[in-house]
Each structure stands twice: as C-alpha cells, then as structure tokens.
Amino acid sequence: MNSAGLIMHPYVRLAFFFAGICGTLLSTNPVFLLVTYLIVIIPTIALNGQFRQHLKLLIIGILPILLSFILLYIFIFHDKSKSWDFIAVKVIKIILFTSLFQITLSIPSKILFITLKKWGFSGQPLVLVLSSLTVWEDVRYRANKIIDARFARGFVVQRSAITKARQLPYIILPLVIAVFRTAIERADSWEQKDMLYLVDHIRVEKVAYPVILNIVYFATSVCWLVIGLLIHFKYA
C-alpha cells in the first residue's frame, strides 16, 4: 500500500487527535501554537496528500473568521483587552482544531473499516457510522449530478464556486428526495444481507503501518499535550 494516507495506526490516530485537542485548548501562547502548526500540522498534511484541501479550507473558512475578528474587536468594539495577540491565539486554535479533524477523521476508504473496528465499533454502531459516512458521499455525488444536469440544460453558464453556491435553492428538494430514497434502498439491502452479522465476522486485510513514523506521531502528540499543560500551569 503506497498511499500516504495509510500511514497512521488507528490507536496513534486517536491519541494524536485527543492529545492535539487538549494541548491546543490548554495553551495560550501564540508562538507555541504557530510553531506547532508549522512543524507538526503542515508536514503531516503534506504527507497525507491533503495540502490542496487544507489550503482551500484556510481560504474559504479561516480567512473570513480572521477578518471578522479584526473587524469586531479592533475596528467596531475598540476593545483594548482584545488585542492582536488575542485574535492570533483564537484564529490559530481554530486552524489547529480544523486541521486535527482533517488529519485524523479523513480516513482513507481502504482502512476505514479496520480503523473503526480498532476503535471499538461493532454491530449496529459500526453500521450506523459506515452508513452515515456513505450518506455524505452520496450527497456530494448526487449534488454534482444535479448541477451537471442543470449545466447540460443551460441553467448554469459556467462552473465555479459562486455559480455552484447559487444553485443551492434549486438542488435542495431533488437532493433530499434522492438521498432519502437511496438510504431506504440501502437499508433494505443491508437488512436482507444481514449486515450486522457480516460486519462482526468479516475478515479484513492486515495493514502494515510504519513503526518509526507511528512512534514519531505518538511522541509528537505526547509532547504537544505536555507542553500545553506546562504553558497552562505557567500562565494560570
């Protein structure tokens, strides 16, 4: 398996997520948060092949939040207690939180089942998680199909993020109907195939996770948490 997204072991992935969340929540030092983002998050995202999606997230999601914080606290409220350091800490924390979700919860399909099994999911909870993830993929697929149909009929002049956003009122109703119909059909199919029995007895291929890289990830998560604790108690 040559995909970079298959590197992190399920237990290490979970430890990396919770240690990162706790370390970020406890820390109030913008320098530490920024250094963590640059030397931990960016290389991990690049290694997982998620840099393009991450850049899109920064532009579409984080940049408006930064501008709104500056507009509210600096230019409108003129709150001296909410300085640039305060804004920097809040924005970098949001970036770290979203990055952690992107890294740890964007699980490649080849290891999704074994990862959920390692996390303790089985039976009905496992089926519910798998079906919920399938529903979101189905929503995206069918939304693109509806936009393609409108484009073929001349309702959409050009393909861009703005024109796709403007199509939302027109795709809501057919999208909801299509997703509900597919979900019902999938539920009936899974019930006929006795999916609860299959997910508990299916044999999955073993995945060889790089030992050294997983040790590095685990050690990094521990250091992240410990440094966050030290910073928290120092400024408490």
pLDDT tens profile 4-23: 445 788 999 999 999 999 99
**Count of the separate structural domains present in the chain:** 2
> pLDDT digit string (tens) for 177-219?
877 787 777 777 777 777 777 777 777 677 788 889 899 999 9
Give 78-101 pLDDT, tens digit per residue: 655 567 777 888 889 999 999 999
State the pLDDT confidence band at 157, using cuts at 50, 70 and 90.
Answer: low
Based on the domain organization, do 127 and 214 belong to the same domain? no
**Token pair for 76:** 């409108």
Q: Count Cα atoms within 13 angstroms, Cβ side, for 103.
A: 29
Statement to judge: residues 17 and 99 lie in one domain: yes
What six digits make up the tokens of 219?
């050690």
Residue 76: domain span: 4-108+208-235
Separation CA 61–CA 55 (nearest Å): 10
Q: Distance (Å, rounded) from C-alpha 92 to C-alpha 111?
A: 30
Separation CA 233–CA 221 (nearest Å): 19
Average pLDDT of the chain, as a whole number = 80
pTM value?
Answer: 0.73
Q: Read out DSSP for 93-108?
A: HHHHHHHHHHHHH---
- Whether residues 9 and 103 fall in one domain: yes
Stretch 26-46: mean pLDDT, rounded?
Answer: 90
| Cβ–Cβ < 8 Å for 234, 28 | no
Q: Are residues 100 and 215 in the same domain?
A: yes
Q: Residue 2: pLDDT above 60? A: no
